[in-house]
Amino acid sequence: MTQGDWQHDVLRELRQDAAAGEPPAHDQPGLSPSTAPAASTATPIEPRGDLPARSAGPFPQAGQGSQQPAVPAAHHPQLPIVTPESMRTIDPRLARAMGHPLQGDSMARRSGRSLRKLTASASQEVAEETRLARLVQQPVTTGRVIAVTSIRGGVGKTTTSALLARTFNHYRHDPVLALEADAALGTLPVRLGAESVRWTCRELAQILTPSMQLTDVTGYLVPVADGGWLLPASQGRVGAPLGTPTYRTVSLSLRRYFAVTVVDCETLPGEVARTAMDTAHARVVVAPMTAEGVGGTRVVLDWLARLPHSALATTVVALTANSPDMTLDLKAATAHLRETGVTVVALPYDRHLAQGGPIHTAQLGQATRRAATSLAAEAMERAVRVR
């Protein structure tokens, strides 16, 4: 299928969604109801003439969009969309209270590791890392979407999404997007180190048109310091929740620009989370290392097994410990989840992650980095399998 045909399919789906009826996005505060058009009738935005053409490959190289303008390149003078104010992600007074980032590993563990570097197991570790890196780097012909969700809040969805987005950016040379689909005052911008946010899914749902180029689109996204892009769901205010049609519009339209999109979803069984899980190429279900967390996740896996398109075969469980006092036996928990046929990757407790705030890759514990790479490799393996 050509990219053009694919775009037509997307637009047809979007029109069906608009006809089916979420209140149009312009009914929300911040946009002028009298002037903002519905997504399906939006004035096409002219791509800027002086921007470089996209590369011949399926995805432009990551650096290509990095010369982004302060004002979005594609902003057309006639486009009746009000530019949102830039909002800080953390109040400066709280930012001062955060203190220095901790190292994920203790001093004892770090010095033990430097001694071990001299042994034979070090070369095995390097071989394993190379194997995982190859899986993460697999080429894709069309954009792959990996949705991250859980059955409860506060278990590590956003942390896992941020780790995945960082890992894909680290290993891949094509563009990667971190898409926040949790309007409940999500924390993905903070975790990815964004100091401020402006455009959100809601506006982008109206602005995106098939004629836009990557450089036009990235003008509306937040560049992440370690590489890649972020689209937040909200500006960190209590407001209208993200609707399913908005999610579909944004995720379907953006996937043609990004080799990998990692979606930080709301908690199941929210409608947006279910849509995201259903439409993604691969899924990551985050389960906390507690008896009720693992038990509840098993129920979700049984639900996924009943979905069409072999949803379970493209699902990975991230078993997270967000406290050092988790006592559940890892082997027993993993075995219980594996009975459904899914792969389980344990994401260990990490002091740097527990601290909250921006994630600095260099501060992460070694086991955390390894687990993040394994998780990205497992998710990518599954995402590329699906057409």
Ligand X SMILES: Nc1ncnc2c1ncn2[C@@H]1O[C@H](COP(=O)(O)OP(=O)(O)O)[C@@H](O)[C@H]1O
* Binding region for ligand X (CB under 6 A): 150, 153-159, 187, 320-322, 347, 349-350, 353-354, 356
Of the two residues 217 and 263, which places its CB atom closer to Mg ion in the complex?
A: 263
Please state the closest distance from residue 342 (CB atom) to Mg ion, in A. Answer: 22
Q: Which residue is nearest to Mg ion (CB)?
A: 158
Please state the closest distance from residue 357 (CB atom) to ligand X, in A. Answer: 9
Of the two residues 54 and 351, which places its CB atom closer to ligand X in the complex?
A: 351
Please state the closest distance from residue 318 (CB atom) to ligand X, in A. Answer: 9
Question: What, of ligand X, Mg ion, none, does residue 350 touch, CB below 5 to 8 Å by kind?
Answer: ligand X
Of the two residues 81 and 359, which places its CB atom closer to ligand X in the complex?
A: 359
Residues 150-179, one symbol each (x = binds Mg ion by CB under 5 A, - = not), give -------xx---------------------
Q: Give the SS3 label for residue 266.
A: coil
Does position 234 interact with Mg ion (CB under 5 A)? The reply is no
CA nearest 378: which of 199, 138, 202?
138
Does position 149 interact with Mg ion (CB under 5 A)? The reply is no
CB 229 within 8 A of CB 172: no
Of the two residues 213 and 275, which places its CB atom closer to ligand X in the complex?
A: 275
Six token digits for residue 350: 């990490």
d(CA 167, CA 205): 27
Please count the other Cβ atoms lying within 10 Å of the Cβ belonging to residue 288.
25
Of the two residues 28 and 322, which places its CB atom closer to Mg ion in the complex?
A: 322
Please count the other Cβ atoms lying within 10 Å of the Cβ belonging to residue 87.
15
Dihedral over alpha carbons 34, 38, 39, 44 (to 10 degrees): -60
Question: What, of ligand X, Mg ion, none, does residue 64 touch, CB below 5 to 8 Å by kind?
Answer: none
Six token digits for residue 69: 């303008």
Please state the closest distance from residue 323 (CB atom) to ligand X, in A. Answer: 7
Please state the closest distance from residue 210 (CB atom) to Mg ion, in A. Answer: 31
Six token digits for residue 257: 């620009």
Of the two residues 44 and 153, which places its CB atom closer to ligand X in the complex?
A: 153
Question: What, of Mg ion, ligand X, none, does residue 52 touch, CB below 5 to 8 Å by kind?
Answer: none
Tell me the residue type at 385. Answer: R
**If you count DSSP H runs as helices and E runs as strands, how many of each does the chain have, helices first?**
14, 10
Please state the closest distance from residue 157 (CB atom) to Mg ion, in A. Answer: 5
Of the two residues 60 and 156, which places its CB atom closer to ligand X in the complex?
A: 156
Question: What, of ligand X, Mg ion, none, does residue 155 touch, CB below 5 to 8 Å by kind?
Answer: ligand X
Please state the closest distance from residue 178 (CB atom) to ligand X, in A. Answer: 13
Q: Give the SS3 label for residue 262.
A: strand
